[in-house]
C-alpha cells in the first residue's frame, strides 16, 4: 500500500458516459504509453485491430515511455476510436484494461509530494467540474491508502528537500483562499502581496520569519482600514479587456480551438461586451464595451457571486492543489501571475456571457469554467506562450496584477 492525499470530492466522481454533454475523445492530443502500444499490436479483434494499426502511431521524437505513441484524430479533431454514441470502441470491445493511461485515468490527475501521491480532478470534464465547483461547503482533503500498483501517471512532483516550506505555503494559501470574510478578489490580492513579500527574503530569513508573515497576512482579512484601501484600488478595464482579447486571439491562432461549445461562449463574450476581434477598436467603442461590462457586472455577475462565490473559490483551491502551487512555474510570483490570468479570463467570459444572455446561472458558470479548462489548461505550449508574452510586455508586476483583479 502507499499513502495518498485526495480532496473529499474525489471519491464522489464517476464517469457518466453517454449521458455527458461533452466528450473527452475530441479536441486534444491523446498520448499512448509504451505498454499499451505494445498490447495494441497484439489485438486480434478484426475491426479494432485494423483501426489500431492505422490510427495509433509512434511518437518518434519522444523518449518518454508515457508518450511512446499517439492516437491520430480525424479532420474534426475527434478520436477515430469513438463510436457514434460518444463512447469508446476500445473500451466496449476490448475492455477497460486496454485503454491507454491517458484515457483510463482522465479526468483524474496525479502528482507527488515527497513520498505521497496526490490525486485530483481536472475541470475540463463537465461532471468533474460539477463535482468540484458545486461544493458549497468548500474543498476539504483526506489522507488514505491505495495499492502501490494503482494505475496513473505522475504529472508533477515536489522535492521536499528542495522546497522544505511547501506544506506551510500550501496550507496558508488554501486557508487564505477559503476565508470568506472578504470577496475572492481581495483574497487574491492579499495572496499576491504575501508572495511578493516572501520572495524578497533569502531561504534562511524565510524559514525564520514565515510563521509571523503568514499570521500577519491572514490578520489583514480583518483589518478594515487595509481592506478599504484595497477596495479603493481602481481597476483598469481598458487594460483588462485588451489583454483578455490578446490572450483569446493568441489562443485561437495557436492551433485553434475545435470545441463548438467554447466558440459559442467566445461569441457571446464578444457580442455581449461589443468587442472587436481586431486591433482597430475606436476609443468611443471601447467606452461602450466598458459600459456593457460594468452593467453586466452590477446586474448579473456581482449578485450571482454574492450567493455562489464558492464556485470561483473552489476553482482556485482546486487549481492550487492539483498544480502544486506556488512551485508550478519558475518563480512563486510567476505561478501567482498565471493563476491571476486564469481567474481573469474566467471572470471576463462569465461577464460577457451574462451581458449577452441578460442572465448568469449556475449552469452557465460551470460550462464557462469547463470549456476554458478544456481550451486552455490542457495546452502547455499556449500557457508557456502566455507567460512569455506577459514577460515581453512587462506585465509582471504586482501593479499589473492589481488592475487585472480589481473591478
Counting the structural domains of the chain, the total is 3
Confidence band for 386, pLDDT divided at 50, 70 and 90: confident
Predicted local distance difference test score (pLDDT) of residue 370: 97
Residue 204 domain-assigned (yes or no): no
Do 247 and 141 share a structural domain? no
For residue 187, name the pLDDT band (cuts at 50, 70, 90): very high
In the predicted model, is pLDDT for residue 387 greater than 80?
yes
Q: How far apart are CA 187 and CA 265, in angstroms?
A: 27
Range of 16-20, 238-242, 268-272 with top mean pLDDT? 268-272
166 — pLDDT class (breaks 50, 70, 90)? very high
| Structural domain includes residue 217 | no
Residue 300 CB coordination number (10 Å): 21
DSSP state of 7: E
Give mean pLDDT, residues 206-225. Answer: 97
Residue 306 sits in the same domain as residue 346: yes
Query: Would 14 be classed as within a structural domain?
Result: no
Indicate whether 136 and 96 sit together in one domain. Answer: no
319, part of any domain: yes
User: Which pLDDT belongs to residue 208?
Assistant: 97
Beta carbons of 184 and 306 less than 8 angstroms apart: no
Per the structure block, which three cell numbers stand in for 60? 518518434
Same domain, 294 and 383: yes
Of 60, 78, 105, the one marking the end of a domain is 105
Verify that 235 and 345 share a domain, yes or no: yes
Helices (H), 41-136: 46-55, 89-94, 101-105, 126-133
Neighbours of 73 (CB within 10 A): 19
Does any domain span residue 207? no
Q: How far apart are CA 370 and CA 401, in angstroms?
A: 24
pLDDT value at 277 more than 70: no
Please state the rounded mean pLDDT for residues 362-368: 97
pLDDT of the residue at 325: 98
| The pLDDT of residue 119 | 97
Domain of 122 in residue numbering reads as 111-158
For residues 245 and 306, membership in a common domain is answered with: yes
pLDDT for 164 equals 96
Which of 63, 86, 105 finishes a domain?
Answer: 105
Residue 130 has a pLDDT of: 98
175: in domain: no
- Global confidence as pTM: 0.92
pLDDT tens profile 37-69? 999 999 988 889 999 999 999 988 777 888 899
Same-domain check for residues 65 and 152: no
Strand order in the sheet with 30-32: 30-32, 69-71, 56-58
What is the CB neighbour count within 10 angstroms for residue 214?
19
Whole-Å CA distances, 367 to 21, 124, 269, 278, 351: 10, 9, 14, 26, 13
267, part of any domain: yes
Q: What is the pLDDT of residues 82-106, one digit of tens each?
A: 988 878 999 988 988 899 988 889 9
Same domain, 289 and 246: yes
The residue among 62, 85, 105 that closes a domain is 105
**Same structural domain for residues 233 and 281?**
yes
Dihedral (Cα; 340, 346, 351, 353), 10-degree rounding: 160
- Alpha helix segments (H runs only) across 71-165: 89-94, 101-105, 126-133
Q: Do the domain assignments include residue 188?
A: no
Q: How confident is the model at residue 252 (pLDDT cuts 50, 70, 90)?
A: confident
Hey, what's the cell of 240?
483588462
Q: Based on the domain organization, do 258 and 394 belong to the same domain?
A: yes
Which band of pLDDT confidence, cut at 50, 70 and 90, is reported for residue 227? very high
Residues 238 and 122 in one domain: no
Q: Are residues 152 and 290 in the same domain?
A: no
Amino acid at each position: 500500500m502507499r499513502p495518498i492525499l485526495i480532496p473529499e470530492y474525489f471519491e464522489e466522481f464517476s464517469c457518466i458516459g453517454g449521458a455527458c454533454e461533452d466528450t473527452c475523445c475530441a479536441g486534444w492530443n491523446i498520448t499512448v504509453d509504451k505498454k499499451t502500444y505494445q498490447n495494441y499490436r497484439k489485438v486480434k479483434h478484426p475491426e479494432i485491430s485494423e483501426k489500431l494499426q492505422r490510427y495509433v502511431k509512434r511518437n518518434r521524437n519522444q523518449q518518454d515511455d508515457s508518450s511512446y505513441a499517439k492516437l491520430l484524430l480525424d479532420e474534426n479533431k475527434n478520436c477515430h476510436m469513438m463510436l457514434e454514441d460518444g463512447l469508446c470502441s476500445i473500451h466496449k470491445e476490448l475492455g477497460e484494461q486496454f485503454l491507454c493511461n491517458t484515457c483510463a485515468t482522465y479526468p483524474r490527475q496525479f502528482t507527488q509530494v515527497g513520498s505521497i501521491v496526490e490525486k485530483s480532478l481536472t475541470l475540463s470534464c463537465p461532471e468533474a467540474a460539477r463535482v468540484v465547483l458545486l461544493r458549497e461547503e468548500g474543498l476539504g482533503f483526506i489522507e488514505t491508502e491505495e495499492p502501490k500498483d494503482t494505475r496513473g501517471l505522475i504529472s508533477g512532483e515536489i522535492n521536499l528537500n528542495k522546497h522544505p516550506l511547501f506544506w506551510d505555503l500550501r496550507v496558508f494559501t488554501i486557508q487564505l483562499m477559503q476565508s470568506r470574510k472578504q470577496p475572492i478578489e481581495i483574497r487574491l490580492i492579499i495572496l499576491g502581496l504575501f508572495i511578493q513579500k516572501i520572495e524578497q527574503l533569502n531561504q534562511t530569513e524565510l524559514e525564520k520569519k514565515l510563521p509571523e508573515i503568514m499570521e500577519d497576512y491572514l490578520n489583514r482579512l480583518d483589518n478594515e482600514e487595509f481592506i478599504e484601501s484595497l477596495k479603493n484600488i481602481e481597476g483598469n478595464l481598458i487594460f483588462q479587456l485588451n489583454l483578455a482579447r490578446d490572450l483569446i486571439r493568441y489562443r485561437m491562432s495557436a492551433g485553434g480551438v475545435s470545441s463548438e461549445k467554447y466558440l459559442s461562449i467566445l461569441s457571446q463574450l464578444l457580442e455581449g461586451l461589443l468587442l472587436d476581434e481586431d486591433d482597430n477598436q475606436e476609443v468611443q467603442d471601447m467606452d461602450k464595451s466598458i459600459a456593457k461590462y460594468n452593467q453586466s457586472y452590477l446586474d448579473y455577475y456581482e449578485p450571482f457571486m454574492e450567493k455562489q462565490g464558492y464556485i470561483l473559490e473552489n476553482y482556485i483551491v482546486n487549481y492550487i492543489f492539483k498544480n502544486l502551487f506556488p512551485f508550478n512555474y519558475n518563480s512563486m510570483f510567476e505561478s501567482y501571475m498565471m493563476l491571476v490570468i486564469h481567474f481573469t479570463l474566467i471572470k471576463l467570459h462569465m461577464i460577457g456571457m451574462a451581458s449577452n444572455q441578460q442572465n448568469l446561472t449556475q449552469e452557465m458558470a460551470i460550462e464557462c469554467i469547463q470549456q476554458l479548462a478544456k481550451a486552455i489548461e490542457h495546452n502547455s505550449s499556449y500557457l508557456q506562450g502566455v507567460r512569455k508574452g506577459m514577460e515581453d510586455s512587462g506585465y509582471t508586476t504586482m501593479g499589473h496584477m492589481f488592475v487585472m483583479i480589481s473591478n
